[in-house]
Chains A and B, each alone.
Chain A
Amino acid sequence: MRTIAALLRRDLARLLPGGRGGGMMLPLLFFLAVAMVYPFAVGPDAQLLAATGGGVIWVAALLAAILPLDRLLAGDVEQGLFDQWALRGISEELVIAVRLFAHWLGFGPFLMLAAVPASALVGIDGETLLLVELGLLAGTPGLAAIGILIASLTIGLRGSAALAGLLAIPLAVPLLVFGAGALSAPGEGGLALTGAISLLLVAIAPFAGGAAIRAAREE
């Protein structure tokens, strides 16, 4: 427990917006900027905006989740922290599970908060906003898990920032299909599937990520 608390404390200090890691405010501002620009690009057709606004919020959320990937794990591997943890019997899986939680906490809840002003910008009503919020609640853990997976797989690669984004987007398709799909086909099915995909990804991420980090060590 003590180990988890120490790891979580360090991760949160780095990954929460305004934290020492620096720049974790950026994904949120980026998210709001996309929502703000969208009405200018589409034009002042209120009906069209309301029909597509929820989907745009989802795409903006995906992009915002991808932004911090390059400094999620690579720095700790390069600086030898994972080696020091391994020698202390702290498994890569535990570190990554804690990191996954901190990463989600660093953008998920804030994204849901930012979705409120964003919904006003793209002109969607309260009912749709509720669906978007529920979808984000179900989907953002999955987005965080995809981020962790990709970050661990691209460790040690040059130019991994752009590559990470490119790899993460296809993996996020199921989340987008059901998460944003729940907006046009109301009912609980889409949200439930989004949650199920998220759970699966969250369950896999620590083990796959841990294996990737150990494999990178052998190089």
Chain B
Amino acid sequence: MQAHLAATDLACRRGERVLFRGVSLALGPGAACRIAGPNGIGKTSLIRILAGLLRPLAGTVERRGMVALLDDRHALDAQLPLGRALAFWARLDRADVGRQARRLGLAGLEDVPVRYLSTGQKKRAALARLAAQGAPVWLLDEPLNGLDAEGALLCEALVAEHCAEGGIAVVASHQVMAMPAPATLALADFALPGPAGSRQGETAA
């Protein structure tokens, strides 16, 4: 099955405010897309709409193939040792998370409770789960947050491999991330002019 992710004419509202309107994208196998834009422009909301976790105000999303999501919530049990927290997901995904965890430099941390891990180590663990999951569509929300230079390189390598194998990657980030021939979607182009000026003063309800 060929991976496919397409969105037509998406609009998103948070609280009383329409964040963006008219966002469309179409990604086929091996395609990468970077969603760029300043804080509060709606990058996370767009990722969650693409994942099907948030209903768009308007527009449709078409997905073919399983979707995997990486965001700032790592979904790992804080009180469990890392090895067992990852093993839970390995059982659900029928995947070998251990191999990816070693590759991401987590060898030797299996017995350390997740709550003692640093931000970057947790991010690496979430990346290991994502890589092991084997989903053709990757949605990454600020994947480089908390990662050191080596971790960022590993993350970029994972995305490059994923796309080389025919997967789709959508990365929302304000940081520059090396990706194979990415299309860039500047979300600011789709922001509504009216409320955008007063964006700093407002908080999403």
Our pick among A3, A79, A81, A87 for the contact of B66 (Cβ within 8 Å) is A87
User: What is the CA–CA distance of A20 and B77 in the complex, to the nearest angstrom?
Assistant: 10
Chain A residues with CB under 8 Å of B55's CB are 218
Nearest chain A CB to B195's CB is how many angstroms away?
19
The residue that A88 contacts in the complex, of B74, B80, B88, B93, with Cβ under 8 A, is B93
The answer to whether B53 has its CB under 8 Å from any CB of chain A is yes
A158 at the interface (CB under 8 A from B): no
Contact of A88 with B75 in the complex, beta carbons under 8 Å: no
Nearest CB of chain B from residue A19's CB, rounded to whole Å: 10
Consensus secondary structure, chain B interface? loop
Q: Roughly how many angstroms separate A21 CA and B88 CA in the complex, as a whole number?
A: 15
Contacts of A1-29 to chain B: CB distance below 8 A: 2-3, 5-6, 9-10, 14, 20-22
A79-B72 Cα distance, complex, nearest whole Å: 9
Q: How far is the CA of A6 from the CA of B66 in the complex (A)?
A: 20
- B-side interface size class: 20 to 34
When distances are taken between beta carbons in the complex, the residues of chain B under 8 Å from A177 are none
B69→A84 contact, CB < 8 A: yes
**Chain A residue at smallest Cβ distance from B87:** A6
Q: 1/0 contact trace for B27-71 toward A, CB 8 Å?
A: 000000000000000000000000111110000000000111101
Interchain CB contact under 8 A, A87 and B88: no
Q: Is the CB of B92 within 8 A of A87?
A: no
The distance from the CB of B157 to the nearest CB of chain A, in whole angstroms, is 23
Asked if A217 contacts B54 (CB within 8 A), the reply is: yes
CB of A155, distance to nearest CB on chain B (Å): 14
Chain A residues near B89 (CB-CB < 8 A): 84
Interchain CA distance A78-B75 in the complex, whole Å: 9
Q: Which of A43-88 contact B (CB under 8 A)?
A: 78-81, 83-84, 86-88
**A5 contacts which chain B residues (CB < 8 A)?**
91
With a cutoff of 8 Å between Cβ atoms, the chain A residues found around residue B51 in the complex are 83, 87
The reply to whether B92 and A3 form a contact with Cβ atoms under 8 Å apart is: yes
Contacts of A81 in B (CB 8 A): 75
Q: Which chain B positions have C-beta within 8 A of A9?
A: 88, 91
> Does B79 belong to the interface (CB within 8 Å)?
yes
Contact in complex: A87, B67 (CB < 8 Å)? yes
**Cα distance A83–B53 in the bound complex, in angstroms:** 7
Cβ contact within 8 Å between B79 and A6: no
Q: Does A90 contact B (CB under 8 A)?
A: yes
- 5 sample A-B contacts, Cβ–Cβ < 8 Å, listed by A number: A2-B94, A6-B91, A10-B77, A20-B80, A218-B55
Given contacts A5-B91, A89-B66, 6 further A-B contacts (CB under 8 A): A6-B88, A9-B88, A80-B73, A86-B52, A86-B53, A217-B53
